[in-house]
Chain A
Amino acid sequence: MTTDREIGISAHRTAAELDTARRARVLMKGNEAIAEAAVQADCDAYFGYPITPQAELLEWMARRMLELGRVFVQAESELGAINMALGAAATGARVMVSSSSPGISLMAEAMSYMAGSGTPMVLVNIMRAGPGLGSIGPSQSDYFQATKGHGHGDYRVPVLAPASIGEATELMALSFELAEKYRTPVMLVADGILGQAMEPVELRFRTPKRHTFDWALTGAAGRPPRVVKSIDLVPEELEKRNLALQHKYREIARREVRWEGWQLDDAEFAIVAYGTAARVARSAIARAREKGIRVGLFRPITLWPFPERELARLSGSLRGILTVEMSSGQMVEDVRLAVEGRCPVAFHGRMGGLVPTPDEVLGALKALRGRVDRTRSVEHRAHWAPRTRPHGSDQGEPFESDFPAHSNARRGGRR
């Protein structure tokens, strides 16, 4: 357990000082604050491999974990790191790994095994621009990877997305709690800016309660042997395991949705954004409000489970939604699924390590408002309805078909 001795960067504090230290406001780099939050969350073991832009996280853990007599291993690869984490976590230890996008791709294999075997672990992804080696610039282009599946098989993991370094420190403790409560890997995703930037941080450290696990491998002394595994070659048995997993995911989706609204009470428009993009959106919203555009921010904190019901409810009273991401538009797919055509959904994003500016976002917002204003007539619903292909076009008709519905549909589906 964390003791006074372990709190803060220096040693020997009283209970009152401990409390102060935990709420201290200090200037800290995101990677370091996230690492220290894990230390304060009583993380037993950290396994990592150097990669920009998360290297400071590994370096911080190297110093702090060894200082506290805990486990730190720099592995031979991200594969090595996450499999060490798998082994340590299977014994019931509180375990963490971190990496950045290309490294997460390598960790995907073990994520699937851990999800399948119900092994808790926290994985931090300080996202950089891809695909491939891409660049070391900040990005949110791993949204699909994080929320729709890194590895193979029917599984999900909770994904938490802080928008500030302070919030990241708070979400680290929550990540460990969720991991242990639901026996699942949990991802905390932050773009490279959150990892690299320094800002005055209100440290919100917390130490999750310890549990005794009836599945942990501790040596079969005085009890039957335990096996932590994902394999089951009997189809009916494997389906049962899968059904249990899906039940767990429904529970997580029901209980663990987190999001933040800002200036939504009178809003006609909303920007949906997370992480650094949400901070840019705030600046854009402040400027838009000066110009009389009533717009608010809907910021998912859990990317999975996505706050779809909350967004659906909100979208009924909105004239339009602008999704802003540091990607080609990944979360926007979940936004559209949640909104189900109740209002138009537009997108603005930058890629390659670039961050949208408040001016760009404001421009995109004005463009959205302009389009909505122009189509406020009775036909606007038709205008925003999903574009449909002519009936039967996918059923083997010749390409040059002059079937009348074809041309009608094209006119209806104005681009």
Chain B
Amino acid sequence: MTLTSSTQAGAGSADADRRLVYRKPDVLADRSTHYCPGCGHGVVHRLLAEVLTELDLPAHTIAVAPVGCAVFAYDYLNVDFVEAPHGRAPAVASGIRRVRPEAFVLTYQGDGDLAAIGTAEIIHAAARGERITAIFVNNGIYGMTGGQMAPTTLLGQRTTSSPNGRDAALMGFPIRITEMLAQLEGVTYAARGSIGDVPLIGKLKAMIKRACEVQVEGGGFSIVEALSNCPVGWGMTPQQSIDHLRGPVVEAFPLGVIVDRARWADTGPVPGLGCPAPSHPEA
């Protein structure tokens, strides 16, 4: 697989004119992933790897892997990783944060993990203003277990556990959890982006970068929700799934920065909660 590419000024240009404009960040492992063809996780992994590299964070990062499709994230990102029980990543990250004030701490979670089984953990980590960053990949389905209904599944959407489509009367409504979190004072930055097309991917990267900067600058909790596709779980081709993502999904989950208290506050960044220096020696 060619991992770098080059531009050519024109036919017959000399080597001196060739310059590197795009390459794989070292923090992204040089291997193929287990994700299904057309899956958006790879894009989000890539963006995260680019941001970590640009902010010089990989050597300081301790990441928390979820349960779900991204459970093997540690195979693709060359940083220290701990595996959390399903939904508990924000609590695990909080524990790391408190004993490792110098570390860059992030969770990578799906919508089943973050918005269903781990709702209590994400809300309270946010409410405590834990200085952690959550990368929340929302594809509206439980992909790993075979495409069951998630809390973020759209009304009417057919899944293996809502075979006739999600019916609000029986199954309730999709949760816009990032908006819920944004209300909390402990949240410094909350935004929703999408992998829907190249410009959107660029915007999503800017959001991820901003969320990471908030942590580096000593702000509170930061979260970026990345709307993503699941061609296999949605029963679509990759192209159909992208069209669906750009249509009905974005209508239900509007894109944009929901809150940026660091930027808006008159008094500067909202500080993260106290993380007393650990008494254990540096390992």
Contact = CB atoms under 8 A, between A and B. Distances in A.
A84 B85 CA distance: 11
Interface string B75-119: 000111111110010011111111110011000000000000000
B283 interface: yes
B96 A217 contact: yes
Contacts of A95: 95, 99
A212 interface: yes
A83 B92 contact: yes
A318 interface: no
Interface string A73-100: 1011101110111111111111100000
Listed residue (B60, B84, B282) with the most chain A CB atoms within 10 angstroms of its CB? B84
Contacts of B78: 220, 224-225
A86 B79 CA distance: 18
Given A1-B279, A83-B91, A220-B59, A228 B81 contact: yes
B60 A221 contact: yes
A216 B95 CA distance: 14
A392 interface: no
Interface string A202-240: 000000001011001111111011111111000000000
Listed residue (B82, B103, B282) with the most chain A CB atoms within 10 angstroms of its CB? B82
A90 B80 CA distance: 10
B276 interface: yes
A87 B63 CA distance: 10
B62 A73 contact: no
Contacts of A229: 65, 74, 81-83
Interface in A99-136: 109-110, 113, 117
A44 interface: yes
Contact of B62 (A47, A85, A94, A219): A219
Contacts of A85: 95
Given A1-B279, A76-B121, A218 B80 contact: yes
Listed residue (B78, B79, B88, B281) with the most chain A CB atoms within 10 angstroms of its CB? B88
B92 A92 contact: no
Contact of A84 (B94, B123, B275): B94
A36 interface: no
A83 B79 CA distance: 20
Contacts of B282: 218
B278 interface: yes
Contacts of A224: 78
A69 B74 contact: no
A105 to B, nearest CB: 14
A339 interface: no
A87 B91 contact: yes
A95 B65 CA distance: 21
A84 B59 contact: no
B101 to A, nearest CB: 10
A71 interface: yes
B124 interface: yes
B195 interface: no
Nearest to B61: A219
A213 B283 CA distance: 7
B99 A45 contact: yes
Contacts of A75: 91, 124
B58 interface: yes
Contacts, number: 167
A88 B96 contact: yes
A83 B95 contact: yes
A218 B124 contact: no
B70 interface: no
Given A94-B280, A110-B88, A229-B74, A220 B79 contact: yes
Listed residue (B71, B80, B94, B120) with the most chain A CB atoms within 10 angstroms of its CB? B80
Contacts of A308: none
Contacts of B104: 219
A210 B281 contact: yes
A248 interface: no
Interface in B118-153: 120-121, 123-124, 128
A6 to B, nearest CB: 9
A45 to B, nearest CB: 5
Contact of A80 (B60, B62, B83, B120): B120
Contacts of B280: 44, 92-94, 210
Interface in B34-77: 58-62, 64-65, 71, 74
A70 interface: yes
B80 A217 contact: yes
B3 interface: no
Given A88-B98, A109-B85, A225-B79, A44 B121 contact: no
A170 interface: no
A42 interface: yes
A373 B73 CA distance: 68
B170 to A, nearest CB: 28
Nearest to A216: B283
A373 B282 CA distance: 65
A305 B95 CA distance: 30
29 contacts: A42-B279, A45-B95, A45-B278, A69-B277, A70-B276, A79-B120, A80-B94, A80-B121, A81-B91, A83-B85, A85-B95, A86-B85, A87-B84, A87-B97, A90-B92, A91-B62, A91-B283, A93-B278, A109-B85, A110-B85, A117-B83, A212-B283, A213-B283, A217-B96, A219-B59, A220-B80, A224-B78, A229-B65, A231-B71
Interface of B: 58-62, 64-65, 71, 74, 78-85, 88, 91-100, 103-104, 120-121, 123-124, 128, 275-283
The 4 closest A-B CB pairs, nearest first, are A87-B95, A84-B95, A83-B91, A87-B92
